[in-house]
Structure 1
């Protein structure tokens, strides 16, 4: 089975934001950020298999995740390096943290004000 993954330079912000704009997909991304690479079945979604497949596909085709067949299991990982290269700081904001630059701009502690 060959799965489509856009090359880094073709990952578009609108596609990534659309993918991250759904609560189920955001839950998947947060789980991958915490767990690292894992089987799709390791993330409990409490939705039908066909709906879950749709959400995995949207994340993969937007460039947010990478999926690879490993025997009968599909292993999934967050494309953190690619996303950070294309959209610096985006994942930090989406995952609930703030980049030092954003914290400083907002006047919050933890940002480098120099």
Structure 2
């Protein structure tokens, strides 16, 4: 049986606004965050609006979002569940995520 490993996530106190803004500056990453605003998704469900996205590109997009402190990527059996760290980000940068997501 395959066990998925825990990935490192930055503590919210270590998250920098410049890293968050950089991660959200890419349209594909921003679209993933918009999808996650409705609730957690499995890795397979993220980015379904662009089915032509290569798996390696999708993995890189998710890594940038995770390392910027925007999402959590947690193992759940044989799959991974990705969630937006909205509450944590709102505590650190009040209104930032709502502002970015509202500016469609």
For the pair 1:41 / 2:44, whether they are aligned, the reply is yes
For structure 1, list consecutive stretches of 5 or more residues without a partner in the other structure: 98-114
| Partner of residue 16 from structure 1, selected from 10, 17, 20 | 20
Give the TM-score of the pair, scaled to structure 2: 0.88
For structure 2, list consecutive stretches of 5 or more residues without a partner in the other structure: none
For the pair 1:7 / 2:42, whether they are aligned, the reply is no
For the pair 1:77 / 2:89, whether they are aligned, the reply is no
Moved over 3 A (4+): none
Q: CA deviation at 1:87?
A: 0.6
CA radius of gyration, larger in:
1
Larger RCO, structure (CA 8 Å, separation 6 or more): 2
RMSD: 1.0
